[in-house]
């Protein structure tokens, strides 16, 4: 039964609500589930229940109510059942932390990696309250599926499909465990799903000789190496911005946090915003991935935190010397070790609709699953003598959600920091946090990271590992035949083979800490962090990204009062303005000099004959204000130009990177780069001309999201040219502009949180809106607010929630 109170109705009194809760059950003694779901502006749900089962029930219900089609599709992915419904050769509909592999590869990968024993181990490591939360979440999801299947009109795209099914708690544990792997296994789906030993015909002695390691090394062609696109942890793409300003910067007794994951706008890994409340036990607001019942980024009454993707490597490879005559056994310290074989059968729908069974036998070593390295370079294929395994430090990290659950309930920043050290569990992200009454802001890359010594890197890296070093920098690529090459443990390691928390980067500052996806080293450019293991990333040895340089410049300008805003304090109000200003670092630093080079002659000769007239383009860029705001004219032309140039930093800049001045170096364009820049500019002008957009078109005409058949003009851009405000379309300009309707990523859940006396002040966006259902009123409302730069002052206290415009309350129970 459901009880509904619409906007403007007087909320139930506390006594009446308590009586209703008792009547509806929802206790942890098996009497059923019950939760009150209060909705406020933008459809943000505030879920209140008397226990963990109830709050999980409410959370599962609202996630399904807003995103059923995406969630139902994703549960097929994690169960390895996509091919059964959509065919094996089709790819995933939307990208995520596993990219967009073929369904057949996705299915074998998930059946292999998310095996029952692993999922059971994940569940066994959790608290009773976590079990109640997960079981309640599954029940809430199922209740909504039942409701929508019996006459509701929502989610017309999927509600009648056979693949929209009830789930079990195992589906949630499976989904949670999969989130651990975004920095490791998930980047190698096809490699793991297609790892097969050589067939017996190739196992002759003659074949063995032909496939010796020396012979394979001689055949290794670096030019044939396919550098893996690390969906999470790569050089460009998915990432984030975040600041923590301490009391010296805010002028208050507490800090201000800005969090801004640049994340997926569609698909199973997108964020969902909610508040979860169990009176006296839990009160936390923020976001989770779809299908996860714990707040991953957010705030409570005492602390606020956010994350960015870390540069630390979370995985490594082991080269295995195979036992002669047996390609599924390997040598370790002189003894033969048999791989674990697992036959897996996937049901596959063909074009006629018939279902056939496809079986592969996949293998695991003691290090982890075998993988087909031949997909990265043909010389690394699984032969009769050599094979490769991957080890992901997070495969045995069952502490992640325990860490976040404890953070959800943390009472101070000091407690928050202690939890992070005690668990050392955060899987592949940096953390920034501020707390009520605490003068400093916290940064840490404290989590699960492989523990390899410099001596091991020197002694254990194989010849193939050295050959692949350029494609996989800082990734351990070790000899699996020697136990001396096993990952090590420190005295304070929380997990075997992981770095101990005392050797992981952290920093407390009363001015600011920040991360824009470069390494821990530049957390505060006034006080670079040094002395940490190389696997955490570069420490002053390479140039920062344009986005990182701009991010630190913005922080320094704010503290100096030179950014055009009032005063010198990083107040919530000013931070909210500066993080949406859509500045473009490359244009601010290099536009004038670049245009002097490429516009000296209005006609640029191009290879093959002919010229490109660049006069109008040059005029447009000289008049451009160097921002990506929706009314900026010419920014798209700069983007195309900057992204077209094919020059290294050494070829482009006169002044090289200087670790003593990381924000301002490298700088000054080389005269010798002029010809290459002219060609890049001519290409960009031609591309824009072929797109049909004018060189001085407004950005909002080119960069947009579509909701309800209408285009919503947006602002920002991609990280390459140095946008701080990230709204990054993968759609080429010549295919209708930079639409955010296909495979977009960028600003996702944004929060600016402070702790004034007597409350929490939190302003948020969910840039793509809460619901995936075009029929929902919350399919585009948040997106329109984001486009207008109108932050939501999200309610947190009971009085704020019940007095919010558009307040509704719904009781769900089972």
Q: Do 445 and 522 form a contact (C-beta atoms < 8 A)?
A: no
Helices 635-644, 585-598: axis angle to 10 degrees equals 80
How far is 110 from 712, CA to CA, in rounded Å? 37
How far is 669 from 593, CA to CA, in rounded Å? 7
Closest CA to 369 of 114, 183, 578, 173: 114
Q: Which two tokens stand for residue 618?
A: 């040059």
Strands of 429-435's sheet, edge to edge?
A: 3-5, 808-813, 34-39, 45-48, 271-278, 282-289, 297-299, 303-309, 429-435, 441-444, 506-509
How far is 338 from 804, CA to CA, in rounded Å? 63
φ and ψ of 275, to 5 deg: -120, 135
Strands of 703-707's sheet, edge to edge?
A: 710-713, 703-707, 738-739
- Per DSSP (E only), the strands in 30-181 are 34-39, 45-48
How far is 315 from 32, CA to CA, in rounded Å? 42
φ and ψ of 279, to 5 deg: -50, 130
Closest CA to 426 of 405, 440, 441: 405
Q: Which residue has the tokens 């599924």?
A: 328
Closest CA to 513 of 503, 527, 533: 527
Region of residue 297 (left: phi > 0; alpha: psi -120 to 50; beta: else): beta
The residues carrying an active-site annotation are 240
Q: Which two tokens stand for residue 217?
A: 């090394």
Q: Do 252 and 756 form a contact (C-beta atoms < 8 A)?
A: yes
Strands 340-349 and 792-793, how do they pair? unpaired
How far is 35 from 7, CA to CA, in rounded Å? 18
């Amino acid at each position: 039964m459901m009880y509904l109170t619409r906007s403007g109705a007087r909320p139930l009194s506390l006594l009446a609500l308590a009586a209703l809760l008792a009547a509806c059950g929802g206790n942890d003694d098996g009497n059923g589930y019950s939760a009150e779901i209060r909705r406020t502006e933008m459809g943000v749900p505030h879920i209140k229940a008397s226990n963990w089962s109830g709050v999980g029930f409410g959370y599962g219900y609202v996630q399904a109510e807003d995103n059923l089609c995406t969630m139902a599709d994703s549960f097929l992915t994690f169960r390895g059942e996509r091919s059964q419904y959509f065919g094996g050769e089709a790819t995933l509909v939307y990208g995520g932390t596993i990219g967009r592999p073929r369904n057949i590869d996705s299915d074998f990968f998930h059946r292999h990696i998310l095996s029952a024993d692993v999922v059971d181990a994940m569940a066994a490591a959790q608290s009773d309250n976590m079990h109640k939360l997960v079981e309640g979440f599954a029940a809430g999801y199922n209740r909504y599926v039942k409701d929508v299947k019996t006459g509701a009109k929502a989610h017309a795209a999927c509600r009648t499909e056979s693949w929209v099914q009830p789930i079990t708690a195992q589906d949630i544990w499976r989904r949670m465990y999969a989130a651990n792997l975004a920095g490791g296994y998930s980047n190698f789906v096809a490699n793991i799903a297609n790892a097969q030993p050589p067939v017996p015909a190739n196992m002759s002695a003659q074949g063995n000789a032909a496939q010796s390691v020396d012979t394979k090394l001689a055949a290794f062609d670096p030019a044939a190496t396919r550098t893996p696109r690390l969906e999470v942890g790569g050089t460009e793409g998915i990432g984030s911005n975040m600041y923590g300003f301490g009391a010296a910067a805010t002028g208050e007794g507490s800090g201000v946090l800005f969090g801004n994951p640049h994340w997926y706008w569609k698909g199973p890994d997108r964020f969902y915003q909610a508040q979860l409340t169990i009176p006296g036990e839990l009160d936390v607001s923020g976001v989770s991935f779809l299908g996860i019942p714990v707040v991953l980024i957010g705030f409570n009454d005492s602390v606020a935190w956010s994350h960015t993707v870390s540069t630390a490597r979370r995985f490594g490879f082991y080269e295995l010397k195979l036992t002669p005559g047996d390609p599924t056994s390997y040598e370790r310290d002189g003894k033969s070790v048999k791989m674990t074989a697992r036959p897996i059968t996937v049901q596959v729908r063909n074009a006629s609709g018939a279902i056939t069974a496809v079986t592969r036998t996949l293998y695991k070593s003691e290090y982890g699953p075998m993988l087909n390295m031949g997909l990265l370079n043909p010389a690394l294929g699984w032969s009769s003598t050599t094979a490769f395994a991957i080890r992901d430090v997070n495969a045995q990290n069952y502490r992640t959600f325990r860490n976040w659950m404890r953070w959800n309930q943390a009472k101070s920043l000091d407690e928050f920091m202690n939890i992070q050290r005690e668990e050392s569990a955060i899987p592949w992200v940096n953390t920034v946090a501020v707390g009520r009454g605490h003068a400093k802001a916290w940064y840490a890359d404290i989590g699960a990271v492989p523990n390899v010594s410099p001596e091991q890197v020197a002694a254990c890296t194989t010849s193939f590992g050295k050959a692949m070093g350029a494609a996989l920098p800082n990734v351990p690529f070790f000899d699996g035949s020697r136990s001396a090459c096993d990952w090590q443990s420190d005295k304070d390691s929380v997990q075997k083979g992981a770095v101990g928390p005392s050797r992981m980067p952290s920093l407390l500052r009363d001015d600011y800490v920040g991360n824009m996806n470069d390494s821990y080293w530049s957390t505060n450019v006034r006080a670079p962090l040094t002395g940490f293991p190389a696997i955490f990333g570069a420490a002053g040895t390479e140039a920062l990204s344009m986005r990182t340089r701009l991010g630190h410049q913005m922080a320094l300008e704010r503290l100096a009062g030179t950014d055009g805003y009032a005063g010198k304090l990083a107040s919530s109000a000013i931070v909210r303005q500066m993080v949406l200003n859509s500045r473009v670092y490359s244009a601010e630093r290099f536009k004038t000099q670049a245009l002097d080079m490429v516009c000296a002659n209005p006609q640029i000769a191009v290879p093959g004959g002919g010229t490109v007239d660049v006069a109008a383009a040059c005029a447009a860029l000289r008049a451009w204000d160097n921002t990506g705001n929706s009314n900026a004219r010419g920014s798209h032309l700069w983007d195309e130009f900057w992204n077209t140039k094919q020059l290294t930093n050494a070829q482009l800049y006169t002044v090289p990177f200087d670790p003593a001045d990381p924000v301002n170096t490298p700088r000054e364009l080389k005269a010798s780069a002029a010809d290459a820049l002219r060609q890049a500019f001519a290409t960009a002008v031609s591309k824009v001309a072929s797109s049909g957009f004018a060189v001085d078109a407004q950005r909002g005409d080119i960069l947009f999201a579509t909701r309800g058949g209408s285009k919503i003009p947006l602002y920002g851009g991609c990280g390459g040219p140095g946008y701080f405000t990230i709204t990054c379309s993968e759609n080429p300009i010549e295919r209708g502009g930079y639409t955010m309707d296909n495979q977009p990523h960028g600003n996702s859940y944004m929060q600016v949180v402070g702790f004034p006396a007597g409350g929490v002040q939190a302003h948020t966006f969910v840039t793509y809106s809460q619901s995936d259902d075009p029929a929902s009123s919350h399919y585009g409302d948040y997106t329109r607010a984001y486009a207008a730069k109108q932050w939501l002052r999200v309610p947190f206290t009971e009085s704020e929630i019940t007095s919010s415009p558009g307040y509704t309350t719904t009781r769900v129970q089972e």
